[in-house]
Structure 1
Amino acid sequence: MKKNSTNLRQVKGGNVVKQNDIASIFTYELLNAENIRCDELNGQEAEVILVSHLDDGSTNIAYRQHITVENGSVTFTITQRLEPRVYIVEVKCGGYIFASNNRTTLKVNPSGFEESVVEIKEEYLAYDTRYINDSTIPVDVEVVEQEGEDGINRVTVINGVRTSSEIIKDPVTKVIRVRVKEHIAYANIVKKAPFYEPIEQTEILRVEENEPVSVSWEYFGTVEAGKYEVTIEIRKLTDKVTNISFGFEELGKMHKVLDISSQTMTYSFVVDLEATVTLMHDIRFDHDIALESFNARQIEVTDLSTTDYGQNSIGTAQTRTQDIELLVTNYEWKTRE
């Protein structure tokens, strides 16, 4: 006699529903091999899917929703338009997949009503990685202190238009301990007059509601090829700020601010433009910040070396490797006092 390892028992709703019915509620109890409800799964996240078998013999997940288990059960509605056919109900939670057989089904019948099509989609939010400097471990060695986990953003789409979103699970930052090595370079740097008029007053940059990262950008206009020093001063408006990047995203030249422990930070770097471009700067940030000042000017660099011959500028870079290429764009530059 065959015996299922896991079972599903429907306690609310039917097993037949019309297309575009987004109000009917379906509740299934999660049962073990003895048909005892799995209350030990309460509070855990479950994934419910509706699976269809296609004519070519393959299977397709037509619907997916993440739900918190309550009273050993999952409760959901169908919030998107499904094609008329029979679907197998499956639930994954705590390493189990319910039910062991394919007998728990839900049939969707065609409807003559042309109602608004409401879809609930779930997007994965990639986790960030944070590095902590630890002088007790060798350079080039990484020790994972905390594994990262993707978050989940639930999006509502009505008739193909995204109308709202809600973060139902925040990403968990991956934390890695490394030994950061500081590299120093020297150069004579001659700075020209700013080609971009500095901002006259503080600009408050706020994170958009329910978005993990916001982007602020502004056009420079057409900029000739050459090396440019960019200096910004940023002030945190909350201690929740953990991620700030600045630069030129279209050119693949974004710079992450490594040390954001201070309330106000001044960050300076050099970008090398190989051709005349229409330039736009970008700032990425995860919580509200203030852009206090911004300055950009063309520079001329000579005598770039790793040996101090009394040059007028000192560049520093922090990496997790022993070596770093001697390029002016690899370093954060400060005028020698």
Structure 2
Amino acid sequence: MTKSSFGKVAPEVEEIIEVTVDFGEEIIEDNSLFVGEEIVEQEGESGLERHVWKGDELISKEIVKEPVKRIVRKGTKLHEHTAYANVSKGDNLAQSSFFDSSINVTREVIDGKQILTSKNGALYNSVAYSTLKNVEAGDYEISIKARKTSDEATAIRFGFESLGQMQEFSDISDVTTEYNFVVTVDKLYSAIYYHFRTNGSVELESVQIRKVAISDLSWEDSGQNHVGVAKSVEKEIPLEFNRFEWKERG
């Protein structure tokens, strides 16, 4: 209450205020649309509430109009790119099918396969490694056949770490699977380490490192002996061998 200039108590007046209510948004993932594409299925509309105040007290709240949410379909589909190349491979240069040294990784051989287990469950703090000698400049395919033997193993990472050429694979299968990629060595090395990392327990069947010769890399199919497939957000990507997953034609 308030007092008038004549000393009498004046009753507080109710004040009515209309308040805009923001609308929400619903996102629907759509694998028929490419990433970056979207379709607005329903435009949003603000709502309206009527608030009644008496002084500093909210007396009542009335919904005049419910807000209408905005509904948008957003694309999740990746662009698929296909390339072709002739690939020839030399002999396996790895001295052993297994890794012979490690840091924070236990190593044991069971039934002709090596079990590698991270001691701390961290991908970047656990490593197994071996040495490759007399490595000439060129392209090399590193191929590892492995399967996870614990749920903690969600990724593997391998390659020539000292050259900054490592490849990481996630969603590791519990079925023996071949994982491979091609690295480029820029000069002759008398010796170089190749590394393997995991964040769980992995059964390793074999490691192969073979020099490869790549020719006739093209977007055009001219009967090359390998086909490469890459998926990307971009509609166009550079024609680079390591961007693709390659399979030999049968």
* Interval of TM-score (by shorter of Structure 1 and Structure 2): 0.5 to 0.7
In 1, Cα distance between the equivalents of 2:87 and 2:116?
32
State the identity %.
36
Q: 1:139 is matched by which residue type in structure 2? A: V
Q: 1:191 is matched by which residue type in structure 2? A: K
In 2, Cα distance between the equivalents of 1:246 and 1:179?
28
In structure 2, which of residues 63, 78, 89 is the aligned counterpart of residue 191 of structure 1?
89
1:135 aligns with 2:31: yes
Query: What does 1:47-126 align with in structure 2 at a 5 Å threshold?
Result: none
1:270 aligns with 2:166: no
TM-score normalised to the size of structure 2? 0.60
| Partner residue in 1 for 2:202 | 289
- Residues 333, 279 of structure 1: alpha-carbon distance in 2 compared, 3 angstrom cutoff: farther
| Partner residue in 2 for 1:215 | 127
- Residues 138, 226 of structure 1: alpha-carbon distance in 2 compared, 3 angstrom cutoff: same
Superimposed CA distance per residue, residues 286-323 of structure 1 (whole angstroms, 9 cap, x where no aligned partner): 11101111111111111101121111111223333333
SS at the partner of 2:242?
Answer: helix
- Residues 306, 259 of structure 1: alpha-carbon distance in 2 compared, 3 angstrom cutoff: farther
Superimposed CA distance per residue, residues 47-104 of structure 1 (whole angstroms, 9 cap, x where no aligned partner): xxxxxxxxxxxxxxxxxxxxxxxxxxxxxxxxxxxxxxxxxxxxxxxxxxxxxxxxxx
In structure 2, which of residues 233, 240, 247 is the aligned counterpart of residue 327 of structure 1?
240
| Partner residue in 2 for 1:308 | 221
Once the 2 structures are TM-superposed, how far is the Cα of residue 240 of structure 1 from its aligned partner? 2.9
Whether the 8 Å contact between 1:245 and 1:283 is mirrored in structure 2 is: yes
TM-score normalised to the size of structure 1? 0.45
Instruction: Give the number of the structure whose alpha-carbon radius of gyration is greater.
Output: 2
Aligned length in residues = 169
1:236 aligns with 2:134: no
Whether the 8 Å contact between 2:34 and 2:78 is mirrored in structure 1 is: no
- Residues 268, 211 of structure 1: alpha-carbon distance in 2 compared, 3 angstrom cutoff: closer
Once the 2 structures are TM-superposed, how far is the Cα of residue 136 of structure 1 from its aligned partner? 4.9
* Structure 1: tracts of 5 or more residues without a match: 1-132, 142-176
| Partner residue in 1 for 2:249 | 336
Pick which of 315-324 and 271-280 moved more: 315-324
RMSD (Å), alpha carbons: 2.5
